Structure 1
Amino acid sequence: VFTTRWGCAQSSAGGYTYRDCDETMTIDPDDMPGGNGNKLVNGDAATWKTLGTAIKKNGGYDTDLLSATVRLQRASRIQSMNATPEPVAPGKAITVTGTVQRANWSAHRYDNYGGRSVKLQFKPAGSSTYTTLKSVTANSSGHLKTTVTATKDGTYRWRYSGNTTTGASNSAGDSVDVL
């Protein structure tokens, strides 16, 4: 089972119509052929080769065997985001915590993902843009903890940028009032 987003640009030349199409697919690792029969396993997070087939109006088809490569990545998430205390006095410390996790396709669950570099970001009240305050390395159990100085009202979040086998993710935001 997968979901897909698709878009095509069309052009014509020499009596032919051309379509240049892009597709983004989100897959369910329990329903994909992989290293464990019909289920993906962790080792399947790698570079895969693709092919494309176009079905013609007359019922024929063309298959493009000059495959492209795509990177299949396990999902990540950041759980238990918390910025405390709430509210806080100006100039006082705010402690921000969370836990980095990634999908374990082999066991069908999320596991903590230790040793990852994760950015702490802040968005001032009334703004729509986050800026990075600092980078923090998760401990071996995937737990994050750091402190920052309270200066103004706003929302904190964690941002994991991903790697070759694991996709990027943002935590939920936690708003703090500075009184």
Structure 2
Amino acid sequence: MRKARMGRTVWSAVAAGGAAVVFTGVAAVPAGAAEGGVSFTRVAVNGGKPIVIGVKEEVEVPASFRMTTRLKYDFGPTVLPYRGKLETGDRLYSSVITSDCEVVDKANGVCDFKEWLYVDPRSLDLGNEDAGTWKTAARVFLPGDAYDTDDVNLPLQVKRATRVTVNASPEPVAAGKTITVTGQVTRANWDTHRYQGYAGRTLSLQFKAAGASSYTTVKKATSNSTGSLKTTVKAAGPGTWRWTYYGNSTSGAKSSTGDYVAVR
């Protein structure tokens, strides 16, 4: 059974001169835990997009929310992904920075907050089975070792990052001749902290003609057991080729960089 992934939480004022406070979270419910008296609304995480995580790079996840309470609180509030039970389940974050309150209604204790949540796959006990749907919790710590934690009914998609490469040849090529386009699609393995070939994936081969502003799908191909791709097309004119993978419920979408082929 994987331990709850709780991280160091940093509350830092966005306004100049704001002092940072450091708090180390724990998974256990402390004595005097409180529910009620605090409400969280207008919660948005990562602009509604999936949280896509690789094997080394720390991911920054922006969030925003509104908190309403007349209660005093010790530390800045936060929203975060969780799985399992609200109080004791897994949390997915390494650190969090939350802004100071932007007052909306002082008399009723209404504040808007911005947040930056960081996920570092190198410091979390993250496994491949953790890809998928998570929930969102909102929490604030109150005086006397109490806190208020709510489920804000916002599902979050957490996905393994993919990488895609491309190579189109020959370069240049005569008009009407065959171009061979190869590449590879790989996916982050959170168990081994490496990228590995992603087999059986259907990718779109796309072309952007010289002078055009967008890509058009020309054909599709399926990756082999090592994630490799290969297909052929006829050279109709100069332009840029790329592979695009549209992702699935556990894997992020990704396009390769473009490979320009001159046609003479």
TM bucket normalised to smaller: 0.7 to 0.9
Q: Select which of 53, 75, 86 maps to 2:171.
A: 86
Q: CA RMSD in A?
A: 2.8
Letter in 2 for 1:41: G
What's 2:248 paired with?
163
1:115 pairs with 2:200: yes
Q: Note if contact 2:64-2:112 (Cα within 8 Å) is conserved in structure 1.
A: no
Write the distance in 2 (CA, Å) between the matches of 1:42 and 1:178.
44
Letter in 2 for 1:78: V
Shift of 1:95: 0.4
What's 1:36 paired with?
none
Q: Note if contact 1:52-1:67 (Cα within 8 Å) is conserved in structure 2.
A: no
Write the distance in 2 (CA, Å) between the matches of 1:114 and 1:138.
5
CA, structure 1 residues 146+2, in 2 after alignment: closer, same or farther (shift >3 Å)?
closer
Q: Provide Cα deviations, 1:52-101, integer angstroms capped at 9, x if missing partner.
A: 23689xxx97643234221110000013x100000011111100000110
Give the share of equivalent positions with the same residue, in percent.
47
Q: Note if contact 1:157-1:173 (Cα within 8 Å) is conserved in structure 2.
A: yes
CA, structure 1 residues 51+168, in 2 after alignment: closer, same or farther (shift >3 Å)?
same
What's 1:102 paired with?
187
Letter in 2 for 1:69: P
What's 1:35 paired with?
none
Write the distance in 2 (CA, Å) between the matches of 1:91 and 1:12.
64
What's 1:64 paired with?
150
Shift of 1:128: 2.1
Write the distance in 2 (CA, Å) between the matches of 1:169 and 1:119.
11
1:42 pairs with 2:99: no
Q: Note if contact 1:54-1:61 (Cα within 8 Å) is conserved in structure 2.
A: yes
TM-score by length of 1: 0.80
Gaps of 5+ in 2: 1-57, 67-101
TM-score by length of 2: 0.56
Shift of 1:109: 0.3
CA, structure 1 residues 55+150, in 2 after alignment: closer, same or farther (shift >3 Å)?
farther
CA, structure 1 residues 94+119, in 2 after alignment: closer, same or farther (shift >3 Å)?
same
1:28 pairs with 2:120: yes
